[in-house]
């Protein structure tokens, strides 16, 4: 008797979730951008390493989350132009001697997408940040700097994907 009540409850829950029309945001983003996307990253001479990493992370996110193909410009239904606009490091905390030991990396990434089918162009500036601590030193090494910028860029990419999905409603 208990088992049948549990099964009926499960079936009802599944029917309710299915009937409500819920679709993940990525579904709408995929519909807005299409299934063939070309990504063009404008290289910032001040931060060329991170500009290349930006393209890799955006390509990975589009492939994994939207299940879209990254293609040549001629075959694309949408084009995304990306530019790493700004990178800032701010001290958030200091040790007893006054040296900064906790930082926030903030980035501003400009995303411009054009959908060939709808002939629609949209531009979004998305911010991302990443907080990190330094052990005994207050010196930000190149590897720590690159890692912080990459993590902040990932947050900006998440914001872009969400914004496109909302824009598609």
16 domain-assigned? no
Strand-pair partners of 129 = 106
134 domain-assigned? yes
- CA proximity to 87, closest of 60, 113, 111, 110: 110
Give the list of residues 6+ apart from residue 157 with CB closer than 8 angstroms, or none: 57, 58, 61, 109, 126, 128
Among left, alpha and beta (phi > 0; psi -120 to 50; other), residue 100 is beta
Tell me what the mean pLDDT of segment 42-51 comes to. Answer: 77
CB 140, CB 89: distance < 8 Å: yes
Element containing residue 147 per DSSP (H, E): helix 142-167
pLDDT value, residue 2: 62
pTM: 0.79
> Is pLDDT of 166 > 90?
no
Tell me what the mean pLDDT of segment 44-71 comes to. Answer: 81
30 domain-assigned? yes
Helices 48-66 & 25-33, crossing angle to 10 degrees?
110
8 domain-assigned? no
Strand-pair partners of 120 = 115
4 domain-assigned? no
pLDDT value, residue 116: 84
40 domain-assigned? yes
- Per residue in 77-105, pLDDT tens? 999 999 989 999 998 888 888 788 889 99
pLDDT value, residue 66: 80
Element containing residue 57 per DSSP (H, E): helix 48-66
How is residue 52 written in tokens?
Answer: 């290349």
**Domain region containing 101:** 24-167
> Is pLDDT of 15 > 80?
no
The chain-wide mean pLDDT, for the chain, equals 83
133 domain-assigned? yes
80 domain-assigned? yes
- Per residue in 88-147, pLDDT tens? 999 888 888 878 888 999 999 999 999 888 888 999 999 999 999 887 676 788 888 889
Q: What is the tally of structural domains in the chain?
A: 1
- 160: CATH: 3.30.160.150
Give the list of residues 6+ apart from residue 143 with CB closer than 8 angstroms, or none: none
The separation between CA 58 and the C-alpha centre of its own chain, rounded to angstroms, equals: 7
């Amino acid at each position: 008797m208990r088992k049948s009540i549990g099964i009926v409850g499960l079936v009802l829950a599944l029917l309710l979730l299915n009937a409500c029309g819920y679709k993940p945001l990525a579904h709408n983003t995929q519909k807005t951008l299409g299934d063939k996307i070309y990504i063009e990253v404008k290289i910032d001479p001040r931060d060329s390493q991170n500009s290349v990493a930006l393209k890799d992370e955006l390509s990975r996110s589009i492939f994994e989350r939207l299940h879209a193909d990254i293609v040549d410009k001629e075959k694309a239904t949408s084009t995304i132009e990306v530019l790493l606009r700004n990178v800032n490091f701010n001290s958030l905390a200091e040790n007893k001697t006054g040296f900064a030991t906790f930082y926030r990396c903030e980035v501003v990434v400009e995303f411009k997408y054009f959908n060939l089918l709808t002939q629609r162009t949209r531009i979004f500036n998305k911010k991302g940040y990443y907080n990190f601590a330094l052990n005994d030193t207050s010196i930000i090494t190149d590897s720590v700097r690159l890692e912080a910028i990459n993590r902040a860029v990932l947050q900006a990419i998440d914001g872009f994907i969400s914004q496109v999905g909302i824009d598609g409603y």
